[in-house]
Structure 1
Amino acid sequence: MKVEHILQSKEARVVAVRTSATVAEAIRLMKAENISALVVKEVCRTEGNTLAGVLSERDIVHALLERGASLLSMPVSQLMTRQPVTCAPSDSLHHALRLMADHHIRHLPVLEDGHLIGVVSARDFTQLQLQELESVAQPSAETPAYAH
């Protein structure tokens, strides 16, 4: 199975923030969207879906420890992970999971020809695994719902 399979099964919208947004604005957006990472893009409209970086809860927590509450007024560009680990839609799910495990990350931007087309997350892999487990665990019509 490929990364594109996950992208096809989820909402196409990628929640992004601009490099000039403050960390406080990014946190509010993460809370409103119930997500733990944001794609960061440049302000210029001509950039299109060009990835500037990723800002995760982990980035924020680590910076909070180092800098205190003053980080809330900082621009996202000072805190984001530049040149994040990425994958392609044609990559296998195994490859994507290996990248996430090796780099200790939970969000993986998906690039095609250098352009951002989506993000896969640990949550997506968990959902996929849950669906697979539930499809296997479905009792057949002939099998009682409980068997001893």
Structure 2
Amino acid sequence: MYVGDILRTNRAPAVTIGSSETVSIAANLMYASNVGALVVRNGSRSVDAAVIGMFSERDVVAVIAERGTGGLAAKVAQFISPRPLVSCNSQDALADVERLMARHDIRHIPVIDNGRLVGVVSMRDIGFALEEAACAA
């Protein structure tokens, strides 16, 4: 199975946030969109803005633990990883992406095809897909 197989069955669009937006906006956006992570774009949410990272529920918790509720006013850019973006494409095998996510200790990964964001895949999505494939075999 491939990442694209998940994207075809999971039609929910990737939810993005600009790096200049606040942690509070990010938390509210995750809640309203019922997602566990946001794709961070450089500066704004514009589709033309480069994908530079991910911001997750774990990040919100870390901000509050480190800075208290005052951290909610901080910019998302302050909390995304400085390391190069970890991403995959829709042609990648699920097992390979699962290993990539485990190696980097991440639970959500942006799917980028030809420089364009096409979705987000979570560890849960991969687990369900592999489980379904095993049951069907």
TM-score by length of 1: 0.80
Considering only aligned residues, what root-mean-square deviation do their CA atoms show, in Å? Answer: 2.0
Match of 1:72 in 2: 72
What letter is aligned with 2:51?
A: L
Relative contact order higher in (CA < 8 Å, ≥ 6 apart): 2
Unaligned runs of 5+ in 2: none
Unaligned runs of 5+ in 1: 137-148
Following superposition of structure 1 onto structure 2, how do residues 1-148 of structure 1 map, counting pairs within 5 Å? 1-42=1-42, 43=44, 45=46, 48=48, 50-82=50-82, 83-132=84-133, 135=136
Task: Please say which structure displays the higher CA radius of gyration.
Answer: 1
What letter is aligned with 1:119?
A: V
Kept after mapping to 2: 8 A contact 1:49/1:117: no
Separation (CA, whole Å) in 2 of partners of 1:30 and 1:99: 24
**CA 44–22 in structure 1, closer or farther in 2 if over 3 Å, else same:** closer
TM-score by length of 2: 0.85
Percent identity over the alignment is 39
Tell me how many residue pairs correspond in the alignment: 135
Kept after mapping to 2: 8 A contact 1:18/1:40: yes
Separation (CA, whole Å) in 2 of partners of 1:21 and 1:44: 9
Query: C-alpha offsets along residues 87-139 of structure 1, whole Å, 9 cap, x if unaligned?
Result: 12111111100011111111011112222111111121233245346646xxx
Kept after mapping to 2: 8 A contact 1:50/1:116: no
What letter is aligned with 1:72?
A: L
Kept after mapping to 2: 8 A contact 1:60/1:79: no
Separation (CA, whole Å) in 2 of partners of 1:33 and 1:108: 17
Kept after mapping to 2: 8 A contact 1:49/1:115: no
Separation (CA, whole Å) in 1 of partners of 2:25 and 2:45: 19
Kept after mapping to 1: 8 A contact 2:108/2:122: yes
